Amino acid sequence: MSQVPAPTPLLQNRLDVHDRKQLELKLEYLPSGADDETRYLVETYFFLPASLNIDAETYPRAAFYADIHNYVRFKTPVMTLAEVLTVDSSPLARLEAGLRTGLVGESELVYQVKLLSCIFRGTLRRFANCVDERCEGMARAGDVTCAQLEVDVRAAQDGVRRVLERFRVWARSANRFRLQEKTRASIRLVDEYMSLTVEQFFRKAVADMNSLPRTGVYIELRKELMDEVLREERYRKDNQLRSVISPTGDNEEYIHRIGFLKKFCMNILFLSARRASNRQGWEEVLFALAAGVAMAFATAVALWAQKHDATQASLNFFLIMVVGYMMKDRIKEGMRRIFSQLAARHLYDRKSRIMDPVTGRCLGTCEEKVDYGSAVKVPEAVATLRSRDDFITVSQGELSETVIRYQKQVVLDAELLPRTERGLSGITDIIRINVERFLRDMDEPEYALEYVDLEDFSVGRVRGAKSYQVDLAFRFIVEESDQERESLQLVRLVLDRNGIKRMLRLCPEQPPQPEPIRSAA
């Protein structure tokens, strides 16, 4: 009986520590195309110790959004190195065909060159991750033989050499034509970026092989990968490029060039987000309603006073009008606060339209919202996940904590997304969360603890590290074709005043379980 392949997930996520002050959540929205629209809801719950002094007043919404950096782009098309070399729809094949026919404009030429570098980088990144996974699997199993690893390394080495050779032959041929200097410079920069990509991921693969024996085939594999790294380094030196690592320098320019080249090559994939306040219009309507109710009350008081006291210059009439105005003002402000809280509870803070800068089409919408404290209702599934930790179980109701919920809802129009040979292309959403505000009220990161030596009872001091633990729970919900899929993930950040020390994955992501969408009552 043949096994039914598992369906492709509609949402993939990866959570990593980006640096000491930033956490990075990478989301990949992958609509299947079975429905016109696919809706994604991502909820992030921050469980913060009360000692950090973080609430709606000390960390308002504007400050929270200022600490979130968002990058939205098309998902990089997936191709193997063999497909890059053989498939007619690959950027390399299109560049070579355009050179033969001369029908490709310079803007399209630059686009295909950059797209080639993006696909090339994605392929080598997957290769490096595959090497890492195979090495970890071999270490866990205690097995030092893996024929597939040798096959993967040799295939990557051969494929990289052939792709670069064909691309550089094409580049030399293209430069014989009367291209603009900007186009020539773009080709040179892409060539440098692809060379650095080989160095980056082949060097990473060698580093991941550190646990393997340093004999036999594994020494040969390391040597062959490093030979490719050195070959590309010599290529950049021969072409007078300064992106070469110096063992004795600070490599500032090397890091700068890598960052610049990555942005330059990948900018063809990035989408623009036209942002507007989602709540402002509704709030203005509600505030106008509050003003109208207050004015109706003041007018009713004035009419009542005029009816019962025909002499409008009397003291009683004057006092009634003053009191009526005071009540009108308080009614207006009170209703404004009530309506503002109502809007904050039920409406998103801001809304963005996800735009393709090339075609100008709107691919979907993105809405965001932040809630604090009592306005946050923690789902039972999230609370159950946290209850697996004894510290959390016994502290609930005894030790106070602040809860912040960040919601992000993305709706994509599947019909407008580009299609590839592998199906509908997706969108990558990268969210970087800066935790620097969490660190402001923390104690010193190190203490000196008194220690008594049991042999002579002398008193000394030992180092004690002070840290704080912040739990982050993620809830991912996908709605498509009358089906709802939900998954959860729980991590714990260990922080001190200097930033993030480490991240603990308390609960891995649960596999999504599809269920019918519950209709509104």
pLDDT of 287 strictly over 60: no
- pLDDT for position 283: 58
Query: Which amino acid is located at 375 in the chain?
Result: A
pLDDT of 160 strictly over 90: yes
Q: Please give the full DSSP string across 338-363, using - where no structure is assigned.
A: HHHHHHHHHS-SEEEEEE-TTT--EE
pLDDT of 358 strictly over 90: no
Residue of 317 and 430 predicted with greater confidence: 430
- pLDDT for position 30: 86
| pLDDT band at residue 232 using 50, 70 and 90 as cut-offs | very high
- pLDDT for position 431: 92
What is the tens place of the pLDDT at every residue in 406-428? 999 999 888 877 766 555 578 89
pLDDT of 313 strictly over 60: no
Give backbone dihedrals phi and psi of 163, rounded to 5 degrees, phi first.
-65, -45
- Indicate yes or no: pTM above 0.85: no
Mean pLDDT in residue range 247-260: 89
pLDDT of 303 strictly over 80: no
Mean pLDDT in residue range 87-91: 89
Closest CA to 411 of 364, 463, 349: 364
The kind and range of the H/E element at 401 are: strand 401-413
pLDDT of 141 strictly over 90: no
pLDDT of 433 strictly over 80: yes
Portion of the chain with pLDDT greater than 90, in percent: 34
pLDDT of 372 strictly over 80: yes
Q: How far apart are CA 385 and CA 230, in angstroms?
A: 49
C-beta of residue 189 within 8 angstroms of C-beta of residue 261? yes
Mean pLDDT in residue range 153-180: 90
Diameter of the chain measured on Cα atoms: 111
The encoded tokens of residue 434 equal: 């800066």
CB burial class (10 A; 0-12, 13-18, 19+) of residue 210?
A: exposed
What is the tens place of the pLDDT at every residue in 49-67? 888 999 888 999 889 999 9
- pLDDT for position 5: 46
Angle of CA points 87, 424, 412, to nearest 5°? 150
Query: Which amino acid is located at 434 in the chain?
Result: N
Q: What is the 3-state secondary structure (H, E, C) of 272-318?
A: EEEEEECCHHHHHHHHHHHHHHHHHHHHHHHHHHHHHCCCCCCHHHH
- pLDDT for position 449: 83
Closest CA to 490 of 379, 375, 374, 371: 379
- pLDDT for position 105: 82
Q: What's the gap between Cα 298 and its chain centre?
A: 52
- pLDDT for position 309: 57
- Tell me what the pLDDT averaged over the chain comes to: 82
| pLDDT band at residue 311 using 50, 70 and 90 as cut-offs | low
pLDDT of 306 strictly over 50: yes
Mean pLDDT lowest among 105-119, 130-144, 455-469 = 130-144
Q: How far apart are CA 24 and CA 37, in angstroms?
A: 27
Q: Please give the full DSSP string across 50-72, using - where no structure is assigned.
A: GGG--STTTS-HHHHHHTEEEEE
- pLDDT for position 308: 64
Q: Please give the full DSSP string across 70-105, using - where no structure is assigned.
A: EEEEEPPPP--HHHHHH-TTSHHHHHHHHHHH----
Q: Residues for the chain: how many in total? A: 521
- pLDDT for position 63: 93
pLDDT of 75 strictly over 70: yes
Q: How far apart are CA 7 and CA 516, in angstroms?
A: 17
pLDDT of 198 strictly over 90: yes
The encoded tokens of residue 457 equal: 């009872």
- pLDDT for position 278: 58
| pLDDT band at residue 212 using 50, 70 and 90 as cut-offs | confident
Q: Please give the full DSSP string across 212-228, using - where no structure is assigned.
A: S-SSHHHHHHHHHHHHH
- pLDDT for position 64: 93
| pLDDT band at residue 382 using 50, 70 and 90 as cut-offs | confident
CB burial class (10 A; 0-12, 13-18, 19+) of residue 51?
A: middle
Query: Which amino acid is located at 293 in the chain?
Result: V
Residue of 357 and 233 predicted with greater confidence: 233
Count CB-CB contacts under 10 A for residue 333: 12
| pLDDT band at residue 107 using 50, 70 and 90 as cut-offs | confident
- pLDDT for position 217: 83
pLDDT of 302 strictly over 90: no
Alpha-helical (H) ranges within 358-432 are: 380-386, 390-395
